[in-house]
Structure 1
Amino acid sequence: MTESFVILVLLVSILGFLASGVWVGLALSGSAWIVMEFFSARPAGDAMAISIWGASSSWTLTALPLFLWMGEILFRTRLSSDLFKGVSPWLDAIPGRLLHTNIVGCAIFAAVSGSSAATCATIGKMTIPELRQRGYPDKMILGTLAGAGTLGLLIPPSIIMIVYGVSANVSISKLFMAGVFPGILLALLFMSYIFIWGLRHPDQNPKASIKLSFFEKIKASGSLIPVVVLILAVLGSIYTGIATATEAAAVGVVGALLIATLQGDMSRKVFMESLMGATRMFCMISLILCGAQFLTLAMGYIGLPNALAQWIASLGLSQLGLVIVLMIFFIIMGCFLDGISLVVLTMGVLLPTVEAAGIDLIWFGIFLIFVIEMAQITPPVGFNLFVLSGMAKKEITYIAKVSVPMFLIMIVAVFAIYYFPQIVLWLPQNIN
């Protein structure tokens, strides 16, 4: 059998399984089993058992369910209303006014959530009715919220950073550090867009709410104290070297439980709903990771990573050319696959090529998250589009259209971190 024929069988089987509606994790495992069984001398069952055990027994992976649980707890508390109450007095006097709460609120919640969909849903639940009531245009409310919701992937602790770190064997703590400045950069670019829009369309800026004195603003910001303390406890313990990412995740869960209890939001129902929500999400992600690990092993046996690396090398691309090609590839793939599936499905194939091109794997992880963020607001499988469509009662195509400026801003951000890589690498290189 020629190598090209085996690769074709693998691709057809993956696409066939996915098109038939089989779960992503099972589709990956099934495709890998077909390749191992018919085109390899190694017993497929033995290879599957070893690879799946290796994927599921990683200590690093322990951080994932804990961060998921932390986000679920906070999602079910009154944190969202506290966020709006705390940040809105400071933003009401600048062009764009309260539209900035979409960005600031998402950035803050991203630092305790780790999930793009949870960030978008939590902040949207609060800001959409508030901003509509004040007369802000729907296209700006939903467009900025769709873009800002993606900060849940970039600002640590990020679920997809953990998945990438496990898949690429990269330090999760360093990835968390690497995401801080790019996350701030992207949030500032989003706010700059709102600022410029506010200057150009003063007639669409509703009048400011009742003016508060400086001390009244400080008092209103008191509602942010619990979440700020939680962010400092989680990220501070990692950056100071006191805790690993896994230990910091445990700190986050305990902190979230304490906040919910002290706020009076914790009950047996909330506890069980948050626990089961995190369990369901973790089981889905774990199944995908296990299937991807087996598929990576199978692709190694048929020589797919090496073949792809040779093909890309034959194109004679510069490092920038490779980055542009990969960006286009991931944006297209992101139209059909969710971010986690995209990461685990492609890392085994692409990492050898990326390393051969001299691209730092920490930098590549942040680049990857940027382009997956773009996929969150591109139809037909843009998760943030689905979330906002249900909340705002608007068509997905409408939300995708009003999100285009945010999509273009993300492309600008990708080129910014390419030409100024220290935006990504300074923290992980200088903090041990």
Structure 2
Amino acid sequence: MSGVGLATLVLVLSLLVLLGSGVWIALSLLVAALIVFAYFAPLDPGSIIAATMWDASWSWALTALPLFVWMGEILMRSGLSSSLFRGLSPWVAGLPGGLMHVNVIGCGVMAAVSGSSAVTCATVGRMSIPELTARKYDRRMMIGSLAGAGTFGLLIPPSIIMIVYGVVAQQSVARLFIAGILPGLMLILLFSGYIALWSRLNPDKRGDLPERTTMAQKLAASKELLPVVGLIVAIIGSIYGGFATPTEAASIGILGALILALINGTLSGAMFTESLLSATRISCMISFIIACAACLSVAVGFADIPRVAAAWVQGMELSPTALIFVLTLFFLVLGCFLEGISILVLSSSVVLPMIQAAGIDPIWFGIYAVIVIECAQITPPVGFNLIVLKSMTGRGIGEIAWATFPFLCVLLFAIVLIVIFPQIVTVLPDLMLN
């Protein structure tokens, strides 16, 4: 076995042992980096790791991350879910599947202001689960649609994981945000389409028919959506209009979220402190993972693993489509054991040179990776959305995962669509930023 092959084997085994033994993900990455440095890179790792962690921690693009996390924490506690349900219900009541569409469209709307999958799922689920249960909607479809649609928080901008990818892959965060718009809308249509089809095929499971509403009643109910729509316009419009960077837009979002909480009567000193502390914990965790993953990237670079891996891929003469297929399987396996950001930063040091060697657009690949990682959010045993719904419903992870499986298939179908039609991802960034 060559030196690089041995280094790769030791790296994989080290990570498996460390992660399997319950060591923090960030520390697992750092220890694996030290092992690679100690045995396969002829350098003293001390100063290199210190400099790498510093460089990975002060990136300007990364400053948007804790701000968007805090905004999501405020919104989750602001009572916004009630307004979303009341505002959307009259518009979707007449569709096949009825109020089940509130899960999908509500998650799409919430994703546009939260940037987080778990926050999106929890916020919409707090209101929709009791309401849909009271109306005797099918429990499996209710849970599955909520878990699946909750993943929109990763794709529809502003997205925390897109910020992380932009930093790791050195790509424009604003460009990634724009690239996520059409795929996000496509997923909303696909999810709602599946619910409508399921409703037609299972008329006995559709639940109580909602009351018909007039156009005047629908417009009156839409007033409930004005605050969140205004917040979306303020955040996304400021970025796309060129008035603010993602970091500045996040600051606008925090101000807007605080105003919404004040209007809803949920803003208090305890709520403010709780949201700030929670955002601090989450942001520190993510930043620590990114910094340690950067150390691992440098270590495997000195061990020559990325170059050999890229050359290996080129030697196999895989087409870009075949490479994407292999990477999809790879990400899905990782998704059974790791959460999304960890998957992204752990694989970046090896995967990014591969896609560069294959000539794949890094912006397109970022959106593809986010959709695959969405699948990881709903695959057991570590799917975050499954865990969120387990705490909210009391159901087992296995039952929730089985209910979510059709929506996992819809996500995989979306990957097929953007592979066949890459313009779904690239057309808006090319039009708006070129």
TM-score range, shorter chain: over 0.9
Q: State the partner residue of 2:231.
A: 230
Q: Residue deviations 1:341-392, cap 9 Å, x none?
A: 0000111111111011111000000000111111111111111111111211
One-letter amino acid of the counterpart of residue 176, structure 1: F
Q: TM-score, normalised by structure 2?
A: 0.98
Residue 17 in structure 1 maps to residue 15 in structure 2? no
Indicate the percent of aligned positions where both proteins have the same amino acid: 51
Secondary structure in 1 matching 2:289: helix
Structure 2 residues not aligned, in runs of 5+: none
Residue 366 in structure 1 maps to residue 367 in structure 2? yes
One-letter amino acid of the counterpart of residue 332, structure 1: V
Cα distance in 2 for partners of 1:187, 1:307 equals: 40
Count residues in correspondence.
Answer: 432
Q: State the partner residue of 2:184.
A: 183
Q: State the partner residue of 1:29.
A: 30
- Runs of 4+ displaced beyond 6 Å: none
Check whether the contact 2:30–2:296 (CA below 8 A) recurs between aligned residues: yes
Secondary structure in 1 matching 2:317: coil
Q: State the partner residue of 2:298.
A: 297
The alpha carbon displacement at 1:263 in A equals 2.4
Cα distance in 1 for partners of 2:3, 2:187 equals: 46
Check whether the contact 2:138–2:207 (CA below 8 A) recurs between aligned residues: no
Q: Residue deviations 1:81-113, cap 9 Å, x none?
A: 000000001111111000000001100000011
Residue 40 in structure 1 maps to residue 41 in structure 2? yes
Q: State the partner residue of 2:428.
A: 427
Q: TM-score, normalised by structure 1?
A: 0.98
Between stretches 227-236 and 118-127, larger displacement belongs to: 118-127
Q: State the partner residue of 2:385.
A: 384
Q: State the partner residue of 1:242.
A: 243
Secondary structure in 2 matching 1:403: helix
Q: State the partner residue of 2:280.
A: 279
Cα distance in 2 for partners of 1:49, 1:108 equals: 41
Q: State the partner residue of 1:54.
A: 55
Q: Residue deviations 1:208-261, cap 9 Å, x none?
A: 323222111111111111110000000000111111111111111111112212
Q: State the partner residue of 1:213.
A: 214
The alpha carbon displacement at 1:202 in A equals 2.1
Matches within 5 A, 1:19-418: 19-418=20-419
The alpha carbon displacement at 1:31 in A equals 1.1
Root-mean-square deviation (CA, aligned residues, Å) is 1.1
Between stretches 2-11 and 155-164, larger displacement belongs to: 2-11
Cα distance in 2 for partners of 1:262, 1:122 equals: 17
Cα distance in 1 for partners of 2:381, 2:265 equals: 40
Cα distance in 2 for partners of 1:330, 1:321 equals: 14
The alpha carbon displacement at 1:10 in A equals 1.9
Cα distance in 2 for partners of 1:141, 1:2 equals: 52
Between stretches 33-42 and 149-158, larger displacement belongs to: 33-42
Cα distance in 1 for partners of 2:201, 2:73 equals: 39
Q: Residue deviations 1:180-212, cap 9 Å, x none?
A: 100000010000001111112222223432322
The alpha carbon displacement at 1:7 in A equals 2.2
One-letter amino acid of the counterpart of residue 124, structure 1: G
Check whether the contact 2:32–2:296 (CA below 8 A) recurs between aligned residues: yes
One-letter amino acid of the counterpart of residue 101, structure 2: H
Cα distance in 2 for partners of 1:3, 1:188 equals: 46
